[in-house]
Structure 1
Amino acid sequence: MTSTDPGRAATEPLREDIRLLGGILGQIVHDQEGEDVFALVEKARVESFRVRRSEIDRAELATLFDGIEIGKAIPVIRAFSHFSLLANLAEDIHRDRRRSIHIRAGEPPQDSSLAATYAKLDAAQLDSSRVADLLTDALVAPVITAHPTETRRRTIFEVQSRITELMRFRERTELDDDETAEVDRQLRRQIITLWQTALIRLSRLRIQDEIEVGLRYFHLSLLEVIPRINAQVRDELRRRWPDVNLLEQPILRPGSWIGGDRDGNPFVTAEVVHNATHRAAFVAIEHHLAELSKLEQELSMSARLVTISYAVQELAEASGDSGSNRDDEPYRQAVRCVRGRLTATAEQILDKLPADAVSLGLEPYETPQQALNDLDAIDTSLRGHGDAILADDRLAALRWSIETFGFHLSSLDLRQNSEIHEEVVAELFAWAGVHPDYRSLPEDERVELLAQELATRRPLSSPDAEFSELTTKELAITRAAALAVRTLGPRSVPNYIISMCTSVSDLLEASVLLKEAGILDPGSGTPTSSVGVVPLFETIEDLQQGAATLLAALDVPVYRALVSSRGDNQEVMLGYSDSNKDGGYLAANWALYRAELDLVDAARKSGIRLRLFHGRGGAVGRGGGPSYEAILAQPVGAVTGSLRITEQGEVIAAKYAEPRIARRNLESLLAATLESTLLDVEGLGAAAEPAYAILDDLAERARRAYGELVHKTPGFVEYFRMSTPVAEIGELNIGSRPASRKPTNSVYDLRAIPWVMSWSQSRVMLPGWYGVGTAFEEWVDGDADKLAQLADLNERWPFFRTVLSNMAMVIAKSDLGLAARYAELVPDVELRNKVFGMISDEHAKTIRMYKAITGADDLLADNPAVARSVFNRFPYLEPLNHLQVELLRQFRAGDDRELVKRGILLTMNGLATALRNSG
């Protein structure tokens, strides 16, 4: 980064907002904590900016916190953490402001907006039959996961929302001085509440808490935004291609892993699966009933003044509301009938009734479509007497909502490790007399045995059978899923994901467990299942073999028949985290791209429709980065109208905590999916194979360089544990899962979130770049022509450009000067110097090669939003890093007081909030 403020004129409103919020926060710190704390905060702030301007050495700032008393450190940490949180709000408001300025200026719509996508589709003059084919079974599903690095509590979110509303009101409303002062007083009230509310929990989240956290985003934005987008996208596409019935189902349908992902999480039980599915259903039906209650009040039209349809008259009579003062208000009676039937449904499937339920003794709806049919009748009647303007308001929003969310709200995925399936199936086979030692069988015999079992309805257990604790638990979980499917509909649990899937037997074992639960029905030679089996390919080797594994599975007649019964649809999940931890950034990204190429080819050969599910994290080292660019960077054929993508960590809050921002982010997912499906976006043409060969070479070099450090350097794990807060991350109450899959000192067994988050906290950001510089330098080897080839790829190939852009963003957020402070925590000086020296050399090499390839002097030349963030905010991170190092030193020296540990956790919270994509 340069030291000059990027785009000063354009960003002045942002700086004004930051000054306003920061000034209020500073005054509160002074009033609440006293002059000494305020003076220390101010001195740290001023000195941090002097460090950025190279006026003082970083060590001078660090001395401010040497030996600091924990009682004084905590309010300083909280001050800078709260500033980061407020700066996030200001940046989000500014992005919305800039978007509005572009629109008002009449400028062309910006890329990643649906308006820009529609313009591109219009220019392409696409054939309607091809569009219809490519958008068959179209689906875009953001899937909220159960292991966030997001630590904020509900109260914090509510305060943030109120501050955002006040800031927008302040900007967009003509206020006199007194009115402005009143808004500022309200801001102060909210920021005082923020200051006096604990940022972190004292106890670890339970899965039940995580379920509620995930559902929070539906109330904050998704219930309002998703149905409206679905309706608008359908209308726009059908207007362009009216002769084909596009998007019969809503394209945007959210998913969740919260309560269904039990890979490495021993706390997921049958009760948790029930709670997850039924709490989601409660939110959906609660919303529908609340809207019906409001609609009942709004549709007050009198039968003496309008002519209603026969269908509405029938609904009105069925409500049982005759003889009341609503006798001439048939719409109110008709809506009450719908409300009564939906209440009866709630009584049948929910554990408790929502507030707007009204028990009328009516028949329940068996499916959401039945409720939609009744609402459609009301809609048709309103339009029949000229009230389309009413039909297009709350009634339309409710119809879209029921169509999108049904009675289930979002789809819950089940996930478990293949090793667990193997163990459970072995025990079932032994008990049922199928085979005494299934696990001893070679792969071909396993496949034969499993295929035979999938062809018969014979159960492998009985209600009184006694199994191990593991098998009993796994069977109960799949049966809880079966209950959800029966009561809430097939969209409530649509997928069963197999972690560490390496073989055909892994796919068939999961299928056997679905059969045992009654979800998969072998039928009479034609098996059916409402739940699809989804292999997850995670390591680089598994990604390389993924297509072969899938083709081998499809060669098994019973599995091929199962896929055929599901419309020839097969979903495959790609893991970004373990592949990165295994082989480094470039090797992992290229392995994923190659895997997609192979899977697309396998789908073409076998005649199936492939849907890819991208297991991306918030951090670039786990597949993070701007979603629009990431989707466009997929190979040709990898996005055929369908895309599922995980949303994790603080990214969830950044994307979905507020309706306008949620809409923008959901639009970008849809825009990229439509463009990738319907347009040629790869741009390589006949030059694809030579480009792929270059990346094959580069990826192998990068993997080798990464492995030299991470897997082959003696003492590296010790360096990692001592120079980062990885051990302390296990204490941060941010999720229900353990930090490691099992007790180990191996990098392989450490979960990707603490691996990535630790490097982010220490500002190394190693998973997002290490090994790339060496690969480029070795391959180019001083040859100007080779460098020109890479520059050409950066210009023409979205994949390569996105890989470089995301890497540059990560490096811009790294700071090896601060990382050196963390390295000082490693007591072994020789090890410290060796490992940090390797990191420093690679860091410099990577920046040098990035600039040579792109021709850019600035790492963030192509990312002005992040450039603004880094410039305006990063000096405020500096004190948090120094305080974290100091408190880690005190804690590891034996000061294990609760306050010291809490102080460390607060620094983690503040840094994760400020970095925004650290986990």
Structure 2
Amino acid sequence: MTQDKDAPLREDIRLLGRLLGDTVRDQQGAAVFDLIERIRQNSVRFRRDDDIAARRELDDMLDALSREQTIQVVRAFSYFSHLANIAEDQHHIRRSRAHLIAGSAPREGSLAHALQRAFDSGSANAVSLQAFFETALVSPVLTAHPTEVQRKSILNCETVLARLLDERDRVQLTPEESEANLEALRRAVLTLWQTRMLRSARLSVIDEVNNGLSYFETTFLRELPRLYASLEDHLAGAAGAGAMPAELPAFLQVGSWIGGDRDGNPYVTAEVLECALAMQAEVALNYYLDELHFLGSQLSLALGLVSASDALLALAERSPDQSPHRSDEPYRRAISGIYARLAATYQALLGHAPVRHAIAEAEPYPGAGALSEDLDILHRSLVANGSAALARGRLRHLRRAVKVFGFHLAPVDLRQNSDVHERVVAELLEVARPGTGYRERDEAGRCALLLDELATARPLASPHVKYSDETESELAIFHAARRAHLRYGTAAIRQCIISKTDDVSDLLELAVLLKEAGLLRPVDKALDVNLVPLFETIGDLENAAGVMDRLFSLPGYRELLASACDDAQEVMLGYSDSNKDGGFMTSGWALYKAEGELVDVFARHGVRLRLFHGRGGSVGRGGGPSYQAILAQPEGAVQGQIRLTEQGEVIGAKYGNPEVGRRNLEVLVAATLETSLRPAGTGPTPQAFLDAMQTLSDEAFAAYRGLVYETPGFEQYFWESTVISEIAGLNIGSRPASRKKGTRIEDLRAIPWVFSWAQCRLMLPGWFGFGRAVKRFLAARPDDGLALLQRMHREWSFFATLLSNMDMVLAKSDLAIASRYAELVKDVALRESIFGRIRGEWHDTVEVLLAITGQQELLDDNPLLKRSIRNRFPYLDPLNHVQVELLRRHREQGEDERIRLGIHISINGIAAGLRNSG
């Protein structure tokens, strides 16, 4: 009999659903519970059986809900989405463990699989692996954006629920223990139900920093050291004992934009940056202090029973711990001394003492490296004196944590728009040399002026001049960054990113501003942070290689790269604005071409390329499975180094559960390793593929632009048929939804643009234009067109990944639900015209996608996601139906706090159910 592997998942979902139902009945009464249950049953019938009568009954029930009933229904189904996510995450963990226990072959995305493929292909050996890790950098970067709808309090409740489910799965409980676990689950669900899902006030940047830090506390600080240890052990076995270094460099790191991203966010100031860095340092130092406290209780080794190195004995002698009870316990005394120095460091950096005081005062550490050296003394002494097993426990993880997180926890990127840098530099130059007219100069004139300025060490700004608020604020940020380097080390801030880079002067302007704060020192050829251009729009992506070619042709800049940056340059590519600008197909193709062109330019100039991918959670913003996305990069684009943003609710989905978080980190490392070490010379992409893709892109671009930017009334349709107006009022982020006041699509941020289309279940930015493009391509090539596209899908990973992501988006869309949102558009003719075009394009896109992939239905090739949708969407659909009715009432009746609350809760629930909508 075949085992039903999904049975435990269904059991967990039923259990959590039953506990939620019991909670609703107890808290809100039997009538509310019965109403919710009838809605659930009809939704399931309609979704699974396509029961028209169930659809009609569902509509009638939802339309007749009172305001209070509506709130309870929305809350119930929203919380169910959250509970289903927890059950799914637990099932992924369960299945991963089952594969490992059964000794199955390594699964795709695991380090074991990546190493096996590399060894089997002959591209990996001890030498190549060592070379890879010596220069590797893999860095997910957390960003705060207005689709992160989770409150930290909700995340805390969900963490408890996940732990209790995990306990039921792993531990053989006695009847009494099982009942205690069930009771704890009831309490956790009740707490969740009684916890406010939404924030009562708009988030500040510091609130966002605090939310981001919760993932370090629950996941990164603990799971990164474990992942390093696992990789080191696996490499030791795979490459042969002694062939690889026992400890790898700190190549895997988690970065952050939260507190440093100023682009469009006036609330990120120098004071906020300094506060964010202090908060990060406090989390790191508290973790180290706690670990040292536990380590001291464990390493009770006594002289006479064990030996110790001279360095360890000297460390113990320097310790302020003079207790006679520990006189013969050198490891404990040494740890007490380390703790005292770290507590003094805490006081020096943060201005107050830690909660658990040291036994005596001591000198603070000058930097994290000095702490590392003391911990290394412990390690070497244990290994040398027959206690290597003890060195591989808590001490190993603590040593790794200090090497990865330092005193800064996570490097914070600074980001600002090139227009701001231009205005600031223009003002500084005009004040210093009136009549300079920087902004009136052409590109060549600007570059000449900036290069002259960069050739001198004298500052441009004067402390005796009052500049504009904008200039003062920008200069303050860079001076704060300089102070951060002195306080926490240069690892605290490594990158300065320039949004909307479109020429060389944009980078030179930033260089001038860095010079003002001493972060760039021309005489010493020193640069303490990397200048990172961000190419975002379709036009910018097309010009990216040319900009970098001209930049590298400047002898001064090239010398700076060689002396200060080890001949390496980071370039960031923006997936969000390129998609909003040109649509899914053209955005993906423009990014792919830009990468290939950058690879060529960098190779010609002898500069190492590191790409920073500005991916969002949704496919419309570059989302989708990270493993496939990295493997689909052009040859040479991943040279052992990659950074990518983690945004919105995807952060919670990927890293809220520690085990799931570790798995996602492993996937990034595995994909980077596999891509970087895959054999070269597999041959260039066939020209026929490139030509076909260009033709498809041109047609898709025309279709997308024709709808979004060239259709009269489309802007009105978008604002009336989606929740964009209501999203703008939801307290879910510190920055506004639009860059300017008004409703122009051009001014809208890409994130709420994509998020709004996801809420109404159209997902338009993730597929629109593909159907028309393929139909026209096939009409022009009736004999071989389809065969060519099918071959591209089989043989070209870029095209296959593009279609796989589109497959996922289309499966999560729902035209029947989307049609209800379209009914919110007051102009009937406009509604029917635009929705008719969207509906027709959706059907065409599904038809051609299935023809190319050979699937009978969407997601036939992704049974896991297909199962997930089947399980969760009957519970998600009622939220959409209720949301439409709430939007109608809100827009007809004006301000009603209960209706507004219901809309906002529904936004949260739908986002949780879709999991990658922002």
- Relative to structure 1, the CA distance from residue 686 to residue 378 in structure 2 (aligned partners, 3 Å threshold; closer, same or farther) is closer
Of 14, 30, 50, the match for 2:45 = 50
Q: 1:324 deviation in Å?
A: 3.6
Q: Could you tell me which residue of structure 1 aligns to residue 572 of structure 2? A: 573
Q: Secondary structure at the match of 2:5?
A: helix
Q: 1:808 deviation in Å?
A: 0.6
- Relative to structure 1, the CA distance from residue 671 to residue 286 in structure 2 (aligned partners, 3 Å threshold; closer, same or farther) is same
AA in 2 matched with 1:479? H
- The 10-residue stretch of structure 1 (348-357 or 12-21) with the greater mean CA deviation from structure 2: 348-357
- Relative to structure 1, the CA distance from residue 541 to residue 837 in structure 2 (aligned partners, 3 Å threshold; closer, same or farther) is same
Rounded to whole Å, the distance in 2 between the matches of 1:449 and 1:410 is: 36
Rounded to whole Å, the distance in 2 between the matches of 1:181 and 1:349 is: 47
Rounded to whole Å, the distance in 2 between the matches of 1:336 and 1:764 is: 60
Rounded to whole Å, the distance in 1 between the matches of 2:605 and 2:248 is: 26
Q: 1:527 deviation in Å?
A: 2.1
8 Å Cα contact 2:160-2:188 kept in structure 1: yes
AA in 2 matched with 1:340? A
Q: 1:230 deviation in Å?
A: 2.5
- Relative to structure 1, the CA distance from residue 59 to residue 463 in structure 2 (aligned partners, 3 Å threshold; closer, same or farther) is farther
**Superposition RMSD in Å:** 1.8
AA in 2 matched with 1:116? H
Q: Could you tell me which residue of structure 1 aligns to residue 649 of structure 2? A: 650
User: Scaled by the length of structure 2, what TM-score is found?
Assistant: 0.97
8 Å Cα contact 2:525-2:560 kept in structure 1: yes
Rounded to whole Å, the distance in 2 between the matches of 1:202 and 1:546 is: 43
- Relative to structure 1, the CA distance from residue 294 to residue 132 in structure 2 (aligned partners, 3 Å threshold; closer, same or farther) is closer
- Relative to structure 1, the CA distance from residue 312 to residue 127 in structure 2 (aligned partners, 3 Å threshold; closer, same or farther) is closer
Rounded to whole Å, the distance in 1 between the matches of 2:916 and 2:44 is: 23
Rounded to whole Å, the distance in 2 between the matches of 1:323 and 1:665 is: 46
Equivalences for 1:214-253 in 2 at 5 Å?
Answer: 214-237=212-235, 240=239, 249-253=249-253
Q: Secondary structure at the match of 2:135?
A: coil
Rounded to whole Å, the distance in 2 between the matches of 1:246 and 1:541 is: 47
1:146 aligned onto 2:144? yes
Equivalences for 1:417-456 in 2 at 5 Å?
Answer: 417-433=417-433, 436-456=436-456
User: Scaled by the length of structure 1, what TM-score is found?
Assistant: 0.97
AA in 1 matched with 2:793? N
Q: 1:670 deviation in Å?
A: 0.4
- The 10-residue stretch of structure 1 (313-322 or 851-860) with the greater mean CA deviation from structure 2: 313-322
Of 17, 23, 30, the match for 1:28 = 23
Q: 1:237 deviation in Å?
A: 4.1
Q: Could you tell me which residue of structure 1 aligns to residue 67 of structure 2? A: 70
1:722-752 deviation per Cα after TM superposition (whole angstroms, max 9, x unaligned): 0001000011111100000111322121011
Q: Could you tell me which residue of structure 1 aligns to residue 83 of structure 2? A: 86
AA in 1 matched with 2:827? D
Q: Secondary structure at the match of 2:138?
A: strand
1:459-484 deviation per Cα after TM superposition (whole angstroms, max 9, x unaligned): 11132320001001111111111111
1:692 aligned onto 2:687? no
- Relative to structure 1, the CA distance from residue 243 to residue 16 in structure 2 (aligned partners, 3 Å threshold; closer, same or farther) is closer
Rounded to whole Å, the distance in 1 between the matches of 2:246 and 2:309 is: 29
- Relative to structure 1, the CA distance from residue 646 to residue 681 in structure 2 (aligned partners, 3 Å threshold; closer, same or farther) is farther
8 Å Cα contact 2:340-2:358 kept in structure 1: yes
8 Å Cα contact 2:321-2:360 kept in structure 1: no
Q: Identical aligned pairs, as a percentage?
A: 48
AA in 2 matched with 1:627? S
Rounded to whole Å, the distance in 2 between the matches of 1:40 and 1:197 is: 22
Rounded to whole Å, the distance in 1 between the matches of 2:610 and 2:246 is: 18
- The 10-residue stretch of structure 1 (118-127 or 463-472) with the greater mean CA deviation from structure 2: 118-127
Equivalences for 1:260-659 in 2 at 5 Å?
Answer: 260-322=260-322, 324-358=324-358, 360-433=360-433, 436-523=436-523, 526-565=524-563, 566-659=565-658
AA in 2 matched with 1:199? M
AA in 2 matched with 1:184? L
- Relative to structure 1, the CA distance from residue 247 to residue 634 in structure 2 (aligned partners, 3 Å threshold; closer, same or farther) is farther
- The 10-residue stretch of structure 1 (40-49 or 134-143) with the greater mean CA deviation from structure 2: 134-143
- Relative to structure 1, the CA distance from residue 706 to residue 490 in structure 2 (aligned partners, 3 Å threshold; closer, same or farther) is same
8 Å Cα contact 1:146-1:257 kept in structure 2: yes
Rounded to whole Å, the distance in 2 between the matches of 1:295 and 1:616 is: 40
Q: Could you tell me which residue of structure 1 aligns to residue 202 of structure 2? A: 204
1:161-184 deviation per Cα after TM superposition (whole angstroms, max 9, x unaligned): 111121122223333444433322
Q: Secondary structure at the match of 2:613?
A: strand
Rounded to whole Å, the distance in 2 between the matches of 1:537 and 1:688 is: 27
8 Å Cα contact 2:144-2:648 kept in structure 1: no
1:119 aligned onto 2:116? yes
Q: Secondary structure at the match of 1:10?
A: coil
Q: Could you tell me which residue of structure 1 aligns to residue 103 of structure 2? A: 106
Q: 1:364 deviation in Å?
A: 2.3
- Relative to structure 1, the CA distance from residue 134 to residue 395 in structure 2 (aligned partners, 3 Å threshold; closer, same or farther) is closer
1:54-103 deviation per Cα after TM superposition (whole angstroms, max 9, x unaligned): 12253442221225321111011000001111010111111111122222
Rounded to whole Å, the distance in 2 between the matches of 1:217 and 1:394 is: 20
Rounded to whole Å, the distance in 1 between the matches of 2:177 and 2:248 is: 50
Rounded to whole Å, the distance in 1 between the matches of 2:434 and 2:342 is: 46
8 Å Cα contact 1:430-1:437 kept in structure 2: yes
Q: 1:128 deviation in Å?
A: 5.0
Q: Secondary structure at the match of 1:444?
A: helix
8 Å Cα contact 1:135-1:246 kept in structure 2: no
Q: 1:771 deviation in Å?
A: 0.3
Rounded to whole Å, the distance in 1 between the matches of 2:246 and 2:825 is: 60
Rounded to whole Å, the distance in 2 between the matches of 1:698 and 1:173 is: 54
Structure 1 residues not aligned, in runs of 5+? 1-6
Rounded to whole Å, the distance in 2 between the matches of 1:252 and 1:584 is: 33
Rounded to whole Å, the distance in 2 between the matches of 1:245 and 1:603 is: 30
Q: Could you tell me which residue of structure 2 aligns to residue 188 of structure 1? A: 186
- Relative to structure 1, the CA distance from residue 434 to residue 631 in structure 2 (aligned partners, 3 Å threshold; closer, same or farther) is farther
1:398-457 deviation per Cα after TM superposition (whole angstroms, max 9, x unaligned): 111111111111010000000000000011111222753211111101001111111111
8 Å Cα contact 2:617-2:623 kept in structure 1: yes
Rounded to whole Å, the distance in 1 between the matches of 2:59 and 2:607 is: 60
Q: Secondary structure at the match of 1:366?
A: coil
Rounded to whole Å, the distance in 2 between the matches of 1:865 and 1:434 is: 65
Q: 1:353 deviation in Å?
A: 3.2
1:877 aligned onto 2:872? no
Q: Could you tell me which residue of structure 2 aligns to residue 3 of structure 1? A: none
Q: Could you tell me which residue of structure 1 aligns to residue 759 of structure 2? A: 761
AA in 2 matched with 1:672? A
8 Å Cα contact 2:585-2:767 kept in structure 1: yes
Structure 2 residues not aligned, in runs of 5+? none
Rounded to whole Å, the distance in 1 between the matches of 2:247 and 2:552 is: 28
Q: 1:35 deviation in Å?
A: 2.2
Rounded to whole Å, the distance in 1 between the matches of 2:768 and 2:234 is: 44
- Relative to structure 1, the CA distance from residue 133 to residue 601 in structure 2 (aligned partners, 3 Å threshold; closer, same or farther) is farther
1:666 aligned onto 2:665? yes
1:916 aligned onto 2:915? yes
8 Å Cα contact 2:133-2:248 kept in structure 1: no
- Relative to structure 1, the CA distance from residue 914 to residue 768 in structure 2 (aligned partners, 3 Å threshold; closer, same or farther) is same
Q: 1:193 deviation in Å?
A: 0.8
8 Å Cα contact 1:343-1:359 kept in structure 2: no
- The 10-residue stretch of structure 1 (148-157 or 760-769) with the greater mean CA deviation from structure 2: 148-157
Q: Secondary structure at the match of 2:326?
A: coil
Q: Secondary structure at the match of 1:893?
A: helix
8 Å Cα contact 2:39-2:878 kept in structure 1: yes
Rounded to whole Å, the distance in 1 between the matches of 2:45 and 2:754 is: 29
Q: Secondary structure at the match of 1:337?
A: helix
Q: 1:338 deviation in Å?
A: 1.3
Q: 1:321 deviation in Å?
A: 2.4
Q: Could you tell me which residue of structure 2 aligns to residue 4 of structure 1? A: none
- Relative to structure 1, the CA distance from residue 646 to residue 426 in structure 2 (aligned partners, 3 Å threshold; closer, same or farther) is same
- The 10-residue stretch of structure 1 (490-499 or 291-300) with the greater mean CA deviation from structure 2: 291-300
Equivalences for 1:773-852 in 2 at 5 Å?
Answer: 773-781=771-779, 783-852=782-851
8 Å Cα contact 2:77-2:909 kept in structure 1: yes
